[in-house]
Amino acid sequence: MELIDSVSVVEPTNEFDPVTVNGIAIDEQDILQEMQYHPAETAPIAQQEAARALVVKRLFLERAEVLDIHAEILTGESQDEANIRELLVQEISRPEADDETCRRYFDANPEKFKTPVVMAASHILLAADPMDMEASAQAKAQAKAILNTLATKPEQFVDFAKRYSACPSKEMGGELGQLSKGSTVPEFERRIFAMPKGLATEAIESRYGYHIVRVDMRVEGEPLPYGHVADRIASYLRDRVYHQAIHQYVALLAGEASIQGVEIEAADSPLVQ
């Protein structure tokens, strides 16, 4: 068993509430096809996200038709994609972030502009399916017992890893080596990268069970100078404003439309400035 994340396959339920935009139905097969682009924990959630995306597409296409947009197709585009691209160009501005705004963001968020934390860790994985309540409770209790022992006898970590861990790293005494962001599953990563050097006082729960973790090395990131990140900040702020504008634009279109089958946050007055 490994910590590396994997993509889960979502099986459709084939149970749909009718989805319509201004009386025009969104085909169920189109929703099923769209689901591949909206992975989720459950099929109903994926179906809703897929249906919502197709409703937004329909709103865009109807608005493009009102504006008589028939854009030139670029390589790899369909006519619908070209029309939506041109619609957003015409209807939504993309303001640039000036240097003063970028510097204010940099000064207000120093923790975001550092070199990556360098970390090495070891773990003992007590495997359990989170859906198996009994097995999960047993693994949690075993993790607590091992942690109680390690609190006074930390030298036994390697022995416990070889005896109890369900991860291949047991052969190396539980060593995971140097870790980087994105190299482990999110629920494990969120916890371990916030830990100081040494043995964690509580086990980390993940989709694989409970992990007893020891941070073997931690080197904090160093602050980056503004000049190294100015372009990145400008791009981020520009994209953030643009995405907010799209969200507001969708809300405005939804407020003027009759939508059935999915919830779209609507607005009854213009929001995009």
The answer to whether 89 and 149 are in contact (CB under 8 A) is: no
Say yes or no to pLDDT of 58 above 80: yes
Distance between the two ends of the chain, CA-based, in angstroms? 52
CATH T-level fold of 118-219: Chitinase A; domain 3 (3.10.50)
In the chain, where does the domain assigned CATH 3.10.50.40 lie?
118-219
d(CA 123, CA 31): 42
Confidence band of 2 (pLDDT split at 50, 70, 90): very low
Confidence at 15, pLDDT banded by 50, 70, 90? low
Token pair of 197 as six digits? 């050097």
Cβ count near 96 (within 10 Å): 10
- Cβ neighbours around 214 below 10 Å, total: 22
- Identify the pLDDT of residue 169: 96
pLDDT band for position 268 (cuts 50, 70, 90): low
| Mean pLDDT across 22-30 | 94
**Mean pLDDT for the stretch of residues 57-80:** 96
Condensed to tens digits (0 to 9), the pLDDT of residues 148-203 reads 999 999 999 999 999 999 999 999 999 999 998 888 999 999 999 999 999 999 99
Q: What is the pLDDT of residues 196-229, one digit of tens each?
A: 999 999 999 999 999 999 999 999 999 999 999 9
The pTM score is 0.61
Residue 253 CB: number of other CB atoms within 10 A? 22
> What are the residues facing 206 on neighbouring strands?
209
Q: pLDDT tens-digit profile of 107-149?
A: 999 999 999 898 999 999 999 998 899 999 999 999 999 999 9
Please give the Cα distance from 189 to 206 (Å, whole number). 10
* CB of 124 closer than 8 Å to CB of 157: yes
3 state DSSP class of 255: helix
Contacts of 179 (CB under 8 A, 6+ apart): 119, 120, 121, 189, 192, 193
pLDDT score, position 6: 38
For the residues of 96-126, what is the DSSP string, one character each?
A: PPPHHHHHHHHHH-GGGSBPPPEEEEEEEEE
Taking the CB of residue 235, how many other CB atoms lie within 10 A of it?
12
Please give the backbone phi and psi of residue 121, each rounded to the nearest 5 degrees, phi first. Answer: -150, 165
- Burial grade of 250 (CB within 10 A; 0-12, 13-18, 19 or more): buried
Length of the chain: 273
Q: Answer yes or no: are the C-beta atoms of 67 and 90 closer than 8 Å.
A: yes
The pairing of beta strand 204-206 with beta strand 175-179: unpaired
